[in-house]
Amino acid sequence: MNDHRKLGRELGLFGTDPLIGSGLPYLLPAGAAIRKAVEDYVHELERRNGYRHVNSPVLGKRELYERSGHWDHYAEDMFPPMEVGGEQFVLRPSLCPHHALIYRSRGRSRRELPLRLAELGGQYRSELSGVLGGLNRVRAIHLNDGHVFCPPEQAAAEVSAALDLIEAAHAQLGIEAARYRLSLGGSSGKFVDDPALWAHAEGVLRAVLAERGQPYDEEYGEAAFYGPKIDIQIADSAGRESTLSTVQVDLYMPGRFELSYAGGGRPAMVHRSVVGGVERLLGHLVEVHGGALPAWLAPVQAVVVPLSEAELAAGHDLLRRCLAAGLRAELACPDRGSLGARIRAHRLVPYQLVVGPREAASGGAAVRLRDGGQAGDVPVAELMARARPVF
């Protein structure tokens, strides 16, 4: 069983410290490299699909979350307010109120809709210590978030487009969904009390799932407080389920923030996360791939292995060319052991570039693949091309 908590520490991906606190892991260089590769991929995927990227602060005044509805429906999961200069500020539990304010920062016309905004930003949940675990349940979440503002009649098309993005990203990452879940509201005070709003939003999601022929389960009580959602569930190595990606239809918050576009229309707000929180995603990727991540995701994509001290200068030159080409690469010096020992120590690295006398003379390398296969003398530019994600 591949447990990301054990693998993550063995591979030097992340750690924790009691002085930082429970549920607040830090990423080491290898983990940060994986995260950056994911961020770059998703950013480009979103850009190619019409998203415009923004950045917003991790704090907001208490009034912001009173306006959004979080304070009434979600306060038990939020950190307590901080008093600053006679005002109360809160660590944000989600990014959507900030994006609603960005939408209304100027007048909007119908012709510029849908407006697709995306951000990878921090959000904070006051989780109890007993439910925290590894990277799956944390208090600081760096969420790949996005919000589409569109006329209500376009919401179904935007939901389907968001599901297309999610499925493309999952395929690229090597993720298989455990199941799709239609998460519905309930009778408790946890949810906004507006039956017509809920029925409309639920109808949009059901229609999209039916049109796509996507099987799904229904669960009551799992919706966001403002509306129903489609959750893409994943399972960890122990079979425990959690939500990774999600798409939600929100007809509530646009009214709370008095969002509009020219002509008197009020937009629908489609919330979507292509890959969810990067902490949970990182943990899942480590388990799915057993640490042997695809070349484009691997924290070290190529290791240069000089056969002996005589080839060390050529090895350093090859390393410089790899780094200049954009590869994440490092050098396994001869003083670190025999050739076999150094190769075994880097068994999870996709490309092992062995430099012997012939390669040193030619400026090349004998490329050994992670599975033990031999690829011959592959130019650095071609290695770089192989180590890119596919869009």
AA identity, residue 147: H
pLDDT of residue 151: 96
Looking at the structure, do residues 42 and 109 belong to the same domain, yes or no? Answer: yes
Q: How many domains does the chain have?
A: 2
Identify whether 294 is part of a domain: no
Query: Is the CA virtual torsion 64, 66, 69, 71 positive or negative?
Result: positive
pLDDT of residue 374: 84
Looking at the structure, do residues 190 and 244 belong to the same domain, yes or no? Answer: yes
Looking at the structure, do residues 333 and 234 belong to the same domain, yes or no? Answer: no
CA nearest 383: which of 323, 343, 327? 327
Looking at the structure, do residues 216 and 315 belong to the same domain, yes or no? Answer: no
Looking at the structure, do residues 320 and 252 belong to the same domain, yes or no? Answer: no
Identify whether 219 is part of a domain: yes
pLDDT of residue 108: 96
Whole-number CA gyration radius for the chain: 24
- Cα separation, 275 vs 82, in Å, equals 31
Identify whether 297 is part of a domain: no
Identify whether 320 is part of a domain: yes
* Mean pLDDT computed over every residue of the chain: 93
AA identity, residue 348: L
Looking at the structure, do residues 13 and 74 belong to the same domain, yes or no? Answer: yes
Find the length of the chain: 391
Identify whether 121 is part of a domain: yes
The DSSP line for 269-301 is: EEEEESS-BHHHHHHHHHHHHTT---TTT-SS-
pLDDT of residue 372: 84
CB count, 10 Å around CB of 218?
A: 12
pLDDT of 337 over the 80 cut: yes
DSSP 8-state secondary structure symbol assigned to residue 106: S
Looking at the structure, do residues 225 and 354 belong to the same domain, yes or no? Answer: no
Convert the pLDDT of each residue in 152-196 to its tens digit: 999 999 999 999 999 999 999 999 998 999 999 987 778 999 999
Convert the pLDDT of each residue in 278-288 to its tens digit: 999 999 999 99
Identify whether 98 is part of a domain: yes
Give the domain CATH number at 376.
3.40.50.800
Residue 191 near residue 223, CB atoms below 8 Å: yes
Convert the pLDDT of each residue in 104-142 to its tens digit: 999 999 999 999 999 999 999 988 777 777 888 899 999
pLDDT of 321 over the 80 cut: yes
AA identity, residue 48: R
pLDDT of residue 336: 87
Looking at the structure, do residues 331 and 217 belong to the same domain, yes or no? Answer: no
Looking at the structure, do residues 182 and 244 belong to the same domain, yes or no? Answer: yes
Convert the pLDDT of each residue in 195-254 to its tens digit: 999 999 999 999 999 999 999 999 999 999 999 999 999 998 788 899 999 999 999 999
Residue 69 pLDDT class (50, 70, 90 cuts): very high
DSSP three-state, residue 33: helix
- Cα separation, 189 vs 187, in Å, equals 7
Looking at the structure, do residues 198 and 309 belong to the same domain, yes or no? Answer: no
- Cα separation, 160 vs 320, in Å, equals 44
pLDDT of residue 187: 76
Looking at the structure, do residues 282 and 368 belong to the same domain, yes or no? Answer: no
Give the domain CATH number at 39.
3.30.930.10
Residue 364 pLDDT class (50, 70, 90 cuts): confident
- Cα separation, 10 vs 373, in Å, equals 25
pTM to 2 decimal places: 0.93
- The domain containing residue 120 runs over which residues? 4-289
- Cα separation, 258 vs 268, in Å, equals 12
Boundary residue ending a domain (240, 260, 289): 289
